[in-house]
Amino acid sequence: MSDQFPENFIWGAATASYQIEGAALTDGRLPSVWDTFSATPGRVLNGDTGEVACDHYHHYETDIQLMAKLGVKHYRFSIAWPRIIPNGRGEINQAGIDFYKRLVDCLLQHEITPHATLFHWDTPQALEDLYGSWRSREMAQDFADYVSAVVSRLGDRITHWITINEIPCFTHLSYAVNSDPPHAPGTRVNRLKDIWQTSHHALLAHGLGVQAIRAASPVACSVALVDNWAVTVPIIESSEHILAAKKAFHLCGQNGGIIFPALTGNYSSILLELLGENAPDIQPKDLEIIHQPLDCLGFNVYSATYVRAANNKLGFEFLGLPKGYPRMNMPWLNIVPESIYWGIRHISETLNQPNLPILITENGCAAQDELNPQGEVIDSDRIFYLRQHFNSAYRAVSEGYPLQGYFVWSFMDNFEWAWGYDRRFGLVYIDYPTQRRIPKMSFNWYAECIRQNRVV
């Protein structure tokens, strides 16, 4: 059991539109690339799609009542671009705006603060068809226009905005030749340069998006980017291995090519050198646009890589994991709770922004949840996972790092991308055939942590 977290520590839960909403063609929404992708045989496990998902579009009131029961005072969700501007650009769909108004009003009635992500991978299919979406620079401006449309209409009731969730996942994982399983649209781009160009366009969209939020918001608001930077953990906490982990953190391409430019205005020089002619084309002013002042940084973290000092040119080496290393129900979900602490410490120290508030915007795990004969889900493995990670967060807070809150992924089971409904990440179990919501044991455990404001 830890000591108490600071009094105003934010405890929340997170979801994303395509993963929970369903109602794929309701009230004027048009397909996103994920609708098309999941309708294509062989793309998503068991042929699952987000067409119905948790049908949150129709059950949002029940879901919010459950959130209130959980005791979270903050909820992170995402707004679906193809609900607001079904063709990606042009006409705004009032019914889409109205849905989010109802959702947010219901949250506010329950004294839950909304944190809205403006893009969580559901690119309008129309833009993919028009110009290959993120392969085109046009996307950045379309995104900014969409952001203005949303913020000018919902900014009276939402004051916590996140531009984009995890840039690598809808750029590199969506277009790279070797990504497995791929993400939508799953269009393979052969040139490395073209792949880096997609993430550059997404960064540009983020920068223009920040400007659009600040211009459109009728009230003062907080603006964040959510990233899943790669975390390097010293295998032993001695000065030599800590230094090695820090060097490795700097050298991860994913870090140098996403979070570095967003926070410093420059791609890491090491990455650019490494990429050579495969580096993206960067137009004058791009880096200035990308490097917008932020009020907060969102950190999505599930695992990490161990590093040790080594007698080689780099001064470090990444360590593979032994065969029996503990892992949750995903190939990449190795249990490395120190990821929370080191992820925060590296970013604060490396990027020289010691006071930029950080929120864990996602952490959680898939487990092989089953209903027992009494109709309960006793997910002690998820509790184990979360407890270790909460303790790591407590360490970061108690050492003075600017961690201000923690959103568990996910509030409820949902459509886990290429894994469909096969992997469950929720605190609430969804019985998909009946849409019944069943809080798991981890729900009760988290409720108690929130009540006591400490790890229990």
Q: Which residues of 92-129 are buried (b: 16+ CB within 10 A; e: fewer)?
A: ebeebbebbbebbebbeebebbbbbbbbbbbbbbbbbe
To the question of whether residue 57 is assigned a binding role by annotation, the answer is: no
249 counts as binding ligand GCO under rule CB under 6 A = no
User: What is the SS3 assignment for 298?
Assistant: strand
Q: What is the distance between the terminal CA atoms of the chain, rounded to a whole angstrom?
A: 5
Please choose, out of 164-172, 273-281, 335-343, 399-407, the segment that lies near ligand GCO by the rule CB under 6 A: 164-172
Angstrom distance (rounded) from CA 376 to CA 313: 54
- Contacting residue, 409, 411, 443, 446, with ligand GCO by CB under 6 A: 409
Name the active-site residue from 21, 128, 166, 338.
166
Angle 71-390-232 (CA atoms, 0-180°, nearest 5)? 140
- Contacting residue, 125, 255, 300, 442, with ligand GCO by CB under 6 A: 300
268 counts as binding ligand GCO under rule CB under 6 A = no
Angstrom distance (rounded) from CA 406 to CA 401: 14
User: What is the SS3 assignment for 314?
Assistant: coil
Angstrom distance (rounded) from CA 436 to CA 66: 12
369 counts as binding ligand GCO under rule CB under 6 A = no
Strands (E), 222-347: 222-227, 232-234, 296-300, 305-309, 316-319
Angstrom distance (rounded) from CA 198 to CA 136: 7
Angstrom distance (rounded) from CA 14 to CA 299: 12
Q: Which is nearer to ligand GCO, 246 or 423 (CB)?
A: 423
Q: Which is nearer to ligand GCO, 72 or 289 (CB)?
A: 72
Q: Which is nearer to ligand GCO, 17 or 348 (CB)?
A: 17
Q: Which is nearer to ligand GCO, 2 or 15 (CB)?
A: 15
Interface characters, 7-26, with ligand GCO (x: CB under 6 A): ---------x--x-------
Look up 362 and say whether it is catalytic. Answer: yes
Q: Which is nearer to ligand GCO, 142 or 416 (CB)?
A: 416
Please choose, out of 162-170, 195-203, 239-247, 435-443, the segment that lies near ligand GCO by the rule CB under 6 A: 162-170
Residues whose CB is less than 8 angstroms from the CB of residue 384 and which lie 6 or more positions away in sequence, other chains included: none
To the question of whether residue 414 is assigned a binding role by annotation, the answer is: no
* CB count in 10 Å sphere of residue 326: 12
166 counts as binding ligand GCO under rule CB under 6 A = yes
Q: What's at 128, amino acid-wise? A: E
Look up 7 and say whether it is catalytic. Answer: no
Please choose, out of 161-169, 195-203, 308-316, 346-354, the segment that lies near ligand GCO by the rule CB under 6 A: 161-169
Can you tell me which residue has the tokens 């029940």? Answer: 62
Name the active-site residue from 21, 128, 338, 362.
362
Q: Which is nearer to ligand GCO, 57 or 121 (CB)?
A: 121
416 counts as binding ligand GCO under rule CB under 6 A = yes
Interface characters, 424-453, with ligand GCO (x: CB under 6 A): -x----------------------------
Compute the least distance from the CB of residue 228 to ligand GCO, in Å: 6
Please choose, out of 163-171, 283-291, 381-389, 398-406, the segment that lies near ligand GCO by the rule CB under 6 A: 163-171
- Contacting residue, 32, 165, 198, 339, with ligand GCO by CB under 6 A: 165
Q: Which of 291, 164, 296, 166 is nearest to 221 (CA)?
A: 296
Residues in the chain: 456
Give 318's Cβ-side CA count (13 Å radius). Answer: 11
**Annotated catalytic sites, by residue?**
166, 362
Annotated binding-site residues for substrate read: 19, 120, 165, 302, 409, 416-417
Annotated binding-site residues read: 19, 120, 165, 302, 409, 416-417
- Residues engaged in binding ligand GCO (CB under 6 A): 16, 19, 165-166, 169, 228, 300, 362, 409, 416, 425
